[in-house]
Each structure stands twice: as structure tokens, then as C-alpha cells.
Amino acid sequence: MNKSHLIHLGWAVVAVAAFIIGSKASDSSSEVAEEEGANSTLVQSSRSAFRGDGGNRTGAAGGRTSRRSRSGDSQFEEDLPAGSLSEAEILQLGKDFKAARGPLERREIFSEILRNLTPENARLMREQIVHLDTDSSEFREFHYAWGGLAGEEAVLNGAETRERDMATTLAGWASANPQAALAYFNGLDKDAQGGSGLKWGAVYGLFDADPNLAVRFAMDQQAAGDREAGRLMDLVARQMLRSGDPAEAATWASGLPAGEMQDTAIARVAREYADRDPLATLNWADNLPEGGGKNRAYRESFSELARKDAGEAARRLESMPDSPERDNATRGFASRIAWEDPQTGIEWANTIADEGTRTRALVETGRAFFRKDPEAAKQWLATSGLNQEQQQDITRRRR
């Protein structure tokens, strides 16, 4: 396994960890915490690092490695076939890993662990890293690599351990052999599929193998009645965004089959695309099919345009005919400018024709108003027309 593959693997597994940890959080909370920035190499990830000819693997790299030996302050290295370490040498590698001085030496030794990982020595290798926090990148990387090498054996080992590793091993398996991993997943009962984060791991691994497989998986989950299928598609869209230019992700989202799942993907892409280029996002939104995705794209576009050029955003709004698109554009605009000028934001929110969209816009602008001037906001709430629950949503203290 060369250095670039290890880097790709690290990004992929950190992403698995981050999403599985937060998969139970609310949509709004995850949106606040999610913006990690794009990584142009993620889509290539580590899938090629764990593939061998005909599935026969002698080590995670299949090449050669170096045997480290310490005697006092001296150290020598000897070239050996990857995966040829003896039990004693693996145990020494574990000791070296725990005693590593600084992150560079630690990473070098951990890379050697991955280079020498085989289906035959994986359990002993795991004993050398099991002390790690299960949410650490190294713990996840190890199990992603093991899944890519050993498939079902690695996943089933996770069912017998108390650490959270099944989802990551399934991700590694799906990246290397998606058909076999899918067959395993589909053979589980519904409770097992939803447990241990397996479906989230499946999405990550399938995306690494082929983004289209991840899309198909999310859509199949929706067809099977999985209420979290939309979040699976949202996850695929996030991965598309991390893999490159948001304009390319926008083109991808536009090409998905029309419907709820496309709307979900468009909504996720629109947020990052608008942050980069609100006018380009607005032009993209103009050509989208009507629906929730298009409305979200307008909302995100005008929110970011209001931040960068409020005057231009207002002029564009005034020229738009009454429509769901204008209502959502106004919501995005009003909610953004309310942080600087709450009264103006509220005035714009009140121009929204659709009652539900107008109420959501008033709640959002009201929150900004309450944080800027609580006493004035309370006076406005008395005559706002919002019900008690909506008013409490505005004044509720948030972390």
C-alpha cells in the first residue's frame, strides 16, 4: 500500500466515522457541523489499495515491506514480502506503535501495520491497535483495510467484539467487492441492517467502488420503506461534493431520476454550490424540475447572494413573479439579512404568499431578531400572528 493510498484511506474512514457518530443527530444539527470542505481525491479513496488478482491477497499492499529491528539506538531495515512478519515481529510492531515518539513515527509504524495486514494475521494485528479509541482514524482505517482484505470474516468478527467496527469493515468490503458485500447486507433481517451502522458503512464503501452503486443502494432502501433513505442519499451527495467541483456535483444531481431522492441530493449540493457561487447556483436552479430540490436551491442561492450583495438579491427578488420559487428565494433572503437588519428581514418574510413558507421564514427571522434585541423581539412577537409554539421556537435558548 503506497503513501497516496493511505492518505485516501484516511479521508474515507474519517468520513465514515464522522457520519456514523452523528447519524442519530437532527438534520439541523448535522448541517451546522457538517461543512468540512471538499477533498478532491476522496472519490478515488482506497478501493484499489485492497484489490488483488482474483481476490487472492497476501498483504494489504501485495508488494514488499521493511522489517524494523531496534537494538539500543541502532535500527536496520530489511526488505521482505508484505505480510511475512512472524508472530513475534507483529507483537514487537505493536510495542513500537504504542511507544512511538511523535505523530510522524506513529504514522510510519501504523502504515507498516497496514502494509503487513493479511486475512491470516488480522486478529493478531488487531490486538496491537485495539487499545485505540474506536472513533480514532487509525482504528477505523485498520478495520476498513481488514474489511477490504477479508470481507465477511472481518465483518463477522465485529459482531463478536464490543468495539464499534462492523460498519467500517463492511465499508472496506463494499469498496473492494461490492457485489459480495451487498449480498451479505441484503441477506440480513431489517433489524440487523439498521443496527451497528451497517447501512451507513455500506453507502461509504459502495461510493468508493462506484458512486452509482451508492445511489442505487439509497433508492433501494427507500423502495423497501427505510425512513432514513433520504439521509443515505444526502450522504452520497456529500461524498460527491467532497470529490471535486460543486458544479460537477450539481450536474450529477440534475441527472438523477426525478423524485424525492433527487430533491434530497439537489438540496445538499445547493448548499455548498451557493456558498461558492450563488449566481451560478441560481442559474442552475432555473433549469431544475419543480419540487423541493429546486425550492431549496433558490433558498440557498438567495441566502448567499444576500450575504455577498444584498442589493442585487433584492433587485432579483422584485423582478420575480409570484411562485413557489420566489417564496423560497424570499425566505432565504429574509433569513440571511435578518441577522443584520431584523425588521427588514421580517418585512420581506411577510411578503411570502405560501402560508407554510411564510411561517418558517418568520420563525427564522424571528430567531435572528431575538438574538440581536430580545426585548424588541418580544414586543414584535405579541403582534406577529405566530402561535405559542412558534414563538417558543424563536425564544428557546440554543447551544
Tell me, what's the pLDDT at 195?
Answer: 83
Least confident piece of the model among 9-23, 33-47, 225-239, 377-391: 33-47
Tell me, what's the pLDDT at 328?
Answer: 97
Q: Are 12 and 36 in contact (CB under 8 A)?
A: no
Residue type at 117? L
The domain ranges of the chain are: 1-23+38-201, 245-399
Tell me, what's the pLDDT at 67?
Answer: 52
Section 27-41 average pLDDT: 33
DSSP 243-310: TS-HHHHHHHHHTSPSSHHHHHHHHHHHHHHHHH-HHHHHHHHHTSPSSHHHHHHHHHHHHHHHHHHH
Residue 71 in this model has a pLDDT that exceeds 90: no
Section 274-282 average pLDDT: 95
pLDDT tier at 397 (50, 70, 90 boundaries)? Answer: confident
Rounded to whole angstroms, how far apart are CA atoms 13 and 175? 12
Query: Quick one: cell of 372?
Result: 440581536
Section 174-191 average pLDDT: 96
Angle 103-105-108 (CA atoms, 0-180°, nearest 5)? 105
Tell me, what's the pLDDT at 169?
Answer: 97
pLDDT tier at 68 (50, 70, 90 boundaries)? Answer: low
* 290-338 tens-digit pLDDT: 899 999 999 999 999 999 999 999 999 999 999 999 999 999 999 999 9
Tell me, what's the pLDDT at 37?
Answer: 32
Q: What is the mean pLDDT of the chain?
A: 84
Tell me, what's the pLDDT at 361?
Answer: 97
Tell me how far CA of residue 278 lies from CA of 28, 167, 271, 375, 385, in angstroms. 21, 36, 9, 34, 32
Residue 57 in this model has a pLDDT that exceeds 60: no
Widest Cα–Cα separation across the chain: 80
* 330-385 tens-digit pLDDT: 999 999 999 999 999 999 999 999 999 999 999 999 999 999 999 999 999 999 99
Section 155-163 average pLDDT: 92
Section 148-171 average pLDDT: 95
| % of residues, the chain, pLDDT over 70 | 79
164: nearest Cα among 188, 187, 136: 136
341: nearest Cα among 319, 360, 314, 323: 314
The residues, ordered by sequence, that sit 6+ positions from 146 with a Cβ below 8 Å of its Cβ are: 117, 122, 126, 154, 169, 172
Residue 394 in this model has a pLDDT that exceeds 70: yes
Q: Are 242 and 18 in contact (CB under 8 A)?
A: no
Residue 8 in this model has a pLDDT that exceeds 90: no
Q: Are 9 and 145 in contact (CB under 8 A)?
A: yes
The model's pTM: 0.77
Least confident piece of the model among 140-144, 189-193, 229-233, 277-281: 189-193
Helix axes 211-223 and 198-209, enclosed angle (nearest 10)? 140
Rounded to whole angstroms, how far apart are CA atoms 186 and 174? 13
pLDDT tier at 194 (50, 70, 90 boundaries)? Answer: confident
